Amino acid sequence: MSQGDCRPGCGACCIAPSISTPIPGMPEGKPAGVRCVQLDADNLCRLFGNSRRPVVCEQFGFDMALCGERRDQALERIAALEIATR
């Protein structure tokens, strides 16, 4: 997996961080640790490539240091970053 390539079916960035901007189906955004309503059963974003996808989501890219080698590492690390930046 190269820098910039998300792990298919991970979805950690759609669960762990808070999102303060509106998301279709979540007009108040979403709290940290809450699964985004736009995340499907395969942990893929239903809004990927759609103009309704929040800018913050478009700008969140894969980074090996943050996402690690496994989904559980990504969830833990993104959650820790969320806490550290409150």
Segments forming the whole domain that contains residue 27: 12-84
How much is the pTM?
0.87
Kindly give, in sequence order, each residue whose CB lies less than 8 Å from that of residue 48, ignoring residues fewer than 6 positions away: none
Helix then strand then coil, % of the chain, to nearest 5: 30, 5, 65
CA 25 – CA 28 distance, rounded (Å) = 9
Residue 5 domain-assigned? no
pLDDT number for residue 19? 95
Residue 51 domain-assigned? yes
pLDDT at position 28 over 70: yes
Tally of domains in the chain: 1
- Mean pLDDT, the chain, rounded, equals 91
Residue 2 domain-assigned? no
CA 12 – CA 34 distance, rounded (Å) = 10
pLDDT number for residue 77? 96
| Mean pLDDT calculated for residue range 34-62 | 94
Residue 75 domain-assigned? yes
pLDDT number for residue 68? 93
Could you tell me the end-to-end alpha-carbon distance of the chain, in angstroms, rounded to an integer?
A: 30
Residue 72 domain-assigned? yes
pLDDT at position 3 over 80: no
